[in-house]
Amino acid sequence: MSVVNVLKQADIFDELTNTQLELIGSICSERHYQAGDIIFEENTPGDELYVIASGEVEIQVDPSLIGKDIRTGSHTIATLRRGQSFGEVALVDQGLRSAGARCSQPDTHLVVIPRDKLMLLCDTYPQLGYRLMRNLAADLAMKIRHTDLQVREQITWANRSK
């Protein structure tokens, strides 16, 4: 499958023209992972956005990173599949990764988009940049809502067990 066809499947590239998708495709690289491979770790610098061409990726957080006396080990907060993207927070603020990403299926194929080149495209082609940032904001809002729901469920179940 071509990189442009993979990008067409991702919501963050919704309403981009074929020419705009080809421009983005020209700056992409491809990587292959096997089950158990770490794509990136939580609290590490990030400068790439990923789109899943095939396979499956788990997004994980490790509560022990925020303090003592908290259970150790990573906790999967989302499982992503073909056409879904991750790593977008690094595009927005260039901060540390808020979660880790681990490949959970053999032969997982990712399209990798470097932040610096994507931002240059957005600056050079404002219409592309506007559409991409609008879609990125919608994607992040949906993920925040999902996380809020998970937090509410955890609080509800914790209160019931007391």
Mean pLDDT of 18-26: 97
Q: What band does 116 get if pLDDT is binned at 50, 70 and 90?
A: very high
Long-range contacts (CB closer than 8 Å, 24 or more residues apart) made by 133-137: 135/11, 135/12, 135/13, 135/14, 135/15, 136/12, 136/88, 136/91, 136/92
Residue 8 has pLDDT above 90, yes or no: yes
Least confident range from 1-5, 38-42, 114-118, 152-156: namely 152-156
**What's the pLDDT score for residue 6?**
96
DSSP code for 96: B
In this structure, what CATH number is given to the domain that contains residue 41?
A: 2.60.120.10
Q: What band does 95 get if pLDDT is binned at 50, 70 and 90?
A: confident
Q: What is the number of structural domains in the chain?
A: 1
Mean pLDDT of 119-133: 96
Which range marks the domain in which residue 111 is found? 3-160
Mean pLDDT of 6-33: 96
CA distance 157 to 24: 44
**What's the pLDDT score for residue 126?**
97
Query: What is the residue whose two structure tokens read 């590490």?
Result: 44
Q: What band does 148 get if pLDDT is binned at 50, 70 and 90?
A: confident
Percent of the chain with pLDDT over 70: 94
Residue 72 has pLDDT above 80, yes or no: no
Per-residue b or e along 51-74, where b marks 16 or more CB atoms closer than 10 Å to that residue's CB: bbbebbbbbbbbeeeeeeeeeeeb
